[in-house]
Amino acid sequence: MGQNSAWLHPKRLALLAGIIVLSLTGCIRVEVVDHQGEADAETPTPAQIVPDEHDLAILAVDFEPQLDYEQIVNNPDGITLLVAIENTGISTETDVQIETRLFCDEGRTIIAERSAEIASIAPGETQVVRFTQIPRPSYRPAYQLSVQAVAVPGETNLANNSRIYDINITPTSD
């Protein structure tokens, strides 16, 4: 059979048909929960902020198409994950590694892993890394996305190097 024959398996076709029916009737809602805001730390005053020599921060993530199940199901190119990284330190960083993992089953099963490298990022600069053609995962009610900027030599503030997002797929009631 052809390269796409795995998608023609009866169980996958039934799953896909169910997702399409639910999405077309507006019965699926996708919710993303960012765990970054869970730490209620006091915001330092400007006088208390002294930049580290080496410090990278994951600012945010976004998705193309947006996490709307109808758009995801109808997009043959898969999903693109966009990750914004800022160099909040005072030194230019080179060969910065960005890693992503998509989990299900409460973190027990890795569905997808990707990594990318930023050749150089100057102090104060923000760059967006694009992870393209991430295949549509099979339907699960919950996923967890982990995004991490691997610590650069001399970096001590690692609290802002990673973000974890829960992605919940829930039926909606009309």
Give all domains of the chain, ordered by start, each with its CATH number: 5-171 (2.60.40.10)
User: 142-149 and 109-121 as β-strands: parallel, antiparallel, unpaired?
Assistant: unpaired
Q: Against a cut of 0.95, is the pTM above it?
A: no
Helix (H, G, I), strand (E, B) or coil at 89: coil
pLDDT at 45: 52
pLDDT at 84: 96
SS3 content of the chain, % helix, strand, coil (to 5): 20, 45, 35
Residue-by-residue pLDDT tens, the chain, 174 positions: 444 434 344 444 444 444 444 444 455 666 677 766 554 445 555 544 678 899 999 999 998 877 766 666 666 677 889 999 999 999 999 999 999 998 888 778 898 899 999 999 999 999 999 998 777 777 788 889 999 999 999 999 999 999 999 888 776 665
pLDDT at 42: 52
pLDDT at 170: 76
pLDDT at 174: 55
pLDDT at 40: 43
pLDDT at 24: 44
Strands (E), the chain: 28-34, 56-64, 79-87, 93-104, 109-121, 126-134, 142-149, 162-171
Residue 122 DSSP one-character state: -
Residue 145 vs residues 114, 156, 168: alpha-carbon distances, Å:
11, 24, 11
